[in-house]
Amino acid sequence: MDIFYIIIIVFAAFLIRSTFGFGDALVGMPFLVLVVGIQIAAPLMALLALMMALLILIKNRRQVSFRLTWKLVLSAMAGIPVGLYYLRHINESVVSLVLAIFIITFALSRIFQVKIKSKAPSIIYYLVGFISGILGGAYNTNGPPVIMLLSAQNWPAQKFRSTLQSYFFFVGISVVAGHIAFGNITGEVVWYFLYGLPFIILAFFVGEYLFGKIKSEKFYNWVYLLLLLIGVGLVVKVFVG
């Protein structure tokens, strides 16, 4: 039954990721933790997310802004050790609540069409990447700052989704490497990964189809709704978890 539940969770989570470019952790992690525990769920999601990012990146590589990706990735790499170092010295609840407020405020401002300047100085990209690296190293939540930054660029949906995957892919390599270094990629994790792999591929193709059916002007509404849910989820985690 564990395998059945894992397959259902993996397919649902990564169908969302394939369609919108993110959101898999919002659906996948809470339910996988209930089924297999955090020690299995975290490295398993890292492996599956890396595979999904690779699939989307290969298919849509011509849409990627690699120049921007490298600014974010390199600065994130610098931030990850900082997050790891301060992991024991930072109050996770306070950080999560502050991040949630930023995410919810941003999502609501975009939903209600508050205009945000799309051209940002270059230093902003490095700063966002660095902050994302700190959050990733400390709490494995490196995505939201980058998602907010890229969604504010007013790019075509395909460019946003593809560039986001390039960031997730290169940062994801370091995350998986970290799990390997700490011995988290056990035989059980690999076994579950192999079971989930065909459903990752299926989710990729179905997600590509669904993405093609979403009108460009409606796509970002879904992005902001997902961001809003992530923000609310962080608030719930603080006060319930």
Residues 6 or more apart in contact with residue 37 via CB below 8 angstroms: none
Quote the pLDDT of residue 87: 62
54-106 per-position pLDDT tens digit:
999 999 999 999 989 999 999 998 988 887 776 666 677 887 888 889 899 99
Amino acid identity of residue 183, one-letter, is G
Residue position matching structure tokens 């879904």: 222
Instruction: Tell me the range of 33-37, 120-124, 205-209 where mean pLDDT is highest.
Output: 205-209
Residue-wise pLDDT tens digits, 173-185: 988 888 898 888 9
pTM for this model (two decimals): 0.88
Residue 64 sits at φ, ψ, to 5 deg, of: -80, 135
Any idea what DSSP says for residue 115? -
pLDDT at 64: 92
In this predicted model, what pLDDT tens digit does every residue of 125-144 receive, in sequence order? 999 999 998 887 766 678 89
User: Which among 224, 169, 218, 210 is positioned nearest to 12, based on CA atoms?
Assistant: 210
Q: What angle separates helix 38-59 from helix 2-20, to the nearest 10 degrees?
A: 40
Alpha helices in the chain (DSSP H): 2-20, 24-36, 38-59, 66-85, 92-111, 122-139, 143-151, 157-181, 187-213, 216-240
119 pLDDT more than 70: no
List the structure tokens of 16: 């969302």
DSSP annotation of 63: G
Top-confidence residue, 40 or 115 = 40
Longest dimension (CA), the chain: 51
Residues 102, 114, 110, CA angle at the centre, nearest 5°? 55
First CA to last CA distance, the chain: 26
pLDDT digits (tens, 9 = 90+) for 11-62: 999 999 999 999 998 888 889 988 998 889 889 999 999 999 999 999 999 9
Confidence (pLDDT) at 93:
82
